[in-house]
Amino acid sequence: MMQLIDLFLKRNFEVIYASPAKFSEHAEDLKQLGVVQKQIEVNNSNFDTFIKEEEPTHILFDRFMMEEQFGWRVAEHCPQAIRILDTEDLHFLRKARQQAYKEQKTFNCKNKVII
């Protein structure tokens, strides 16, 4: 996540880190980087107001669960925003590819059922 934040900052984006997770003293100091932190809540219409006021050009969801919770609200209130889903945490895909490599098989999603 820090690499992605750095990428956007280097390209002169204003970065707002919005999260339903409680902020911790052990977390990275994003304010030091010039990143605004915003606490948001799932299933709360306050997010609608927040997203409309910010008018983002891009939204990055760090997990598919966050996209499920907030993606439809972003689509409704900021349809012009580019929505990006970061899939680096799809461990099941990584494990399936690793197993295919170990077995010297070609990895092919068509041969796998993911539920």
CB 94 within 8 A of CB 87: no
* pLDDT band, residue 109 (cuts 50/70/90): low
With residue 2 as reference, give the H or E element that holds it. helix 2-10
Statement: residue 63 has pLDDT above 60? yes
What's the rounded mean pLDDT across residues 99-109?
A: 82
For the ranges 9-13, 35-39, 102-106, which has the lowest average pLDDT? 102-106
| 57 vs 54: CA distance, rounded Å | 9
Contacts of 37 (CB under 8 A, 6+ apart): 16, 17, 18, 19, 23, 30, 31
Eight-class DSSP state of 22:
P
Q: Can you give the pTM of this predicted structure? A: 0.74
Planar angle of CA 86, 45, 90, nearest 5 degrees:
15
- Residue carrying the six token digits 């008018």: 55
